[in-house]
Amino acid sequence: MTKIKNFLPRIILLSFFLIPLIYFNGFYYHFYVYLSSNVITGIITQQWHIVILCILIFMAFLIPLSYRRKANWAEYGLISAFFISLFIEMYGIPLTVLFASKYFFTPGTQLPPNIVNFYFLGVGFGMDIAMTYGAFLMIIGMSIIIIGWIKLYRSTKKDGLVTDGIYAYSRHPQYLGFILIILGWLFGWPTIITVVLAPILIYKYVRVCKKEEEEITNEFPEYKEYKENVPLFI
């Protein structure tokens, strides 16, 4: 029954992940321009109020994890380092530009065309197709985390496992949400930091899921049956 319920979400997610292949040229050009630091002509710098605000917003998404399991500050420290370094580079000091532009910058290289433009806190932003795609991944990830958090919060006074609601479709929706957020930043802002740290973080959270399940199975034997009927992520 769960496999049938998960069929539509899987199809939607799979279709969404096919977008980079459909628009391969736009995504390739986006990655090339950012990783080669040809984005130097359009980068935002010295906007420390945006740096601080973004760090606080995304760090807040670590709070819901405490409702699922005991906080592991080593894990929190890794994801915190990712967000802090990411936003410092995005809106503070562009480290990849400083490191790579000396060797790879090509005068006259045009940035990918923006399909979304807006102002936020007095700063103009533009997003090409890859950045817009990354933003949608992050929105989906944040929504999943919030839905999972609400479900767990409402169940804090109840004993036993939470297996209904979004947890009837995914054993670890909040970790799925974090992985989608990390992938969103990787697509939207491919730099030295995201390319190196994103795979490490995803691997780390998959291991956390496995470790958490061992702990839960020892405490709740019925988790084994739940595990057989509900997929790890989706």
104: pLDDT strictly greater than 70: no
CA geometry: angle at 53 spanning 52 and 55, to 5°?
65
Instruction: Please give the pLDDT value at position 108.
Output: 59
Pick from 100, 67, 60, 56: nearest CA to 191: 100
**Residues with Cβ < 8 Å from 225, sequence gap 6 or more?**
none
pLDDT, one tens digit per residue, over 177-230 is 989 999 998 998 888 888 888 898 888 888 888 888 888 888 788 888 888 888
- pLDDT of amino acid 72: 54
- pLDDT tens-digit profile of 76-101? 677 777 788 777 776 676 666 666 55
Two tokens, residue 85: 């370094």
Task: Give the per-residue pLDDT at 8.
Answer: 77
Question: Which uninterrupted H or E stretch holds 125?
Answer: strand 123-127
Helix (H) and strand (E) counts in the chain: 10, 2
Q: Which is more confident, 114 or 105? A: 114
Report which DSSP code applies to 169. Answer: T
